[in-house]
Amino acid sequence: MIRVAIGGKSKALLSHLTSDPPSQDKESYEQWEQEDLIVFSWLIQNIEPTIAGNLTEYPTAKMLWDALVVTYSSGRDKLQTFNLHVKANDIKQNDSTLEEFWITLQGVWGEIDRIDPNPMKCPDDIKTYARIRSEQKLFQFLNALDQKYESIKREILLLEPLPSAEAAYATVQQCFRLVGYPEWWADGHKKSTKGLGPKKGRAPTTDKNIDRKTATGFGGVAATRIDEEVEGFSMETGTGGKKEDILKTPINQLYSN
């Protein structure tokens, strides 16, 4: 990727990774030296800081590049993949918003998919591998969620077949949007509550014949109507506005096919 980036700027600059410098007594040497410093600087800036500090003593960009190839090219992609998987498993929500946490996790997954794509050739194997990776992402997502989502996580894991991580994220996010934000939900956990849930002491106004297509979570899942006022929150399940009650409500009672 580094060679592609440098080559995209100038073929002359790319030659600094592959060709030896001209003799110092040639007129072209001064221009070459200036260009080489540009390439050298670009390489250093695109290397992990913990590694870059030990590489600044190389006299030319080519010598630096050759050292990088020898040191890191053998198994480099596997090491990078390993580090990304470790990073994905270590990510936790830690009271950040669902949106912020989700974007971070997706960024790491995107890097993994880029450097370690589906290697299968047979259509059935491609499908099987994709399903395994999808489940892996789902488990990482659920494991990283804060403790307050514990009941929702268990309900999602009981679904058959398991949803994708994307569908699970939509479901977790929708649970509170559909039943409203209870009093214990800190303002810092949501950007805005306008139009997302009922006000305190009020049940949401919904048509008994709610259009299920407009309240989907994942594949064919829709919100049940909310028709009974209980402590500021209303659901057919009869749960109130308390944290422990809402989170203990099974998803299949919050959502119906």
pLDDT (0 to 100) of residue 2: 52
pLDDT at 218: 37
CA–CA gap between residue 167 and residue 221 (Å, rounded): 10
Which bin fits 220, alpha (ψ -120 to 50), beta or left (φ > 0)?
A: left
pLDDT tens digits, 14-62: 788 788 888 888 888 899 899 889 888 888 887 777 777 777 788 888 8
**Rg of the chain on CA atoms, in Å:** 27
Instruction: Give the strand pairing for 222-223 and 255-256.
Output: antiparallel
Helix (H) or strand (E) holding 255: strand 255-256
Rounded-to-5 percentages of helix, strand, coil across the chain: 55, 5, 40
The encoded tokens of residue 118 equal 């589906």
For residue 245, pLDDT beyond 60:
no
Indicate if the pLDDT at residue 247 is higher than 60: no
Q: Please tell me which residue, 230 or 27, carries the higher pLDDT value.
A: 27
Q: Are 219 and 170 in contact (CB under 8 A)?
A: no
Dihedral sign computed on CA atoms, order 130, 133, 135, 141:
negative
Q: Of residues 241 and 110, which shows the higher confidence score?
A: 110
Three-state SS letters, 192-228 = CCCCCCCCCCCCCCCCCCCCHHHCECCCCCEECCCCC
β-strand partners of 216: 222
Tens digits of residue pLDDT in 146-205: 998 898 999 999 999 999 999 999 999 887 665 555 454 454 444 444 444 444 444 444
Q: Which of 9-13, 14-18, 214-218 has the lowest mean pLDDT?
A: 214-218
pLDDT at 108 over 70: yes
Among residues 174, 235, 172, 182, which one has the least CA distance to residue 204? 235
- pLDDT band (50, 70, 90) for residue 11: low
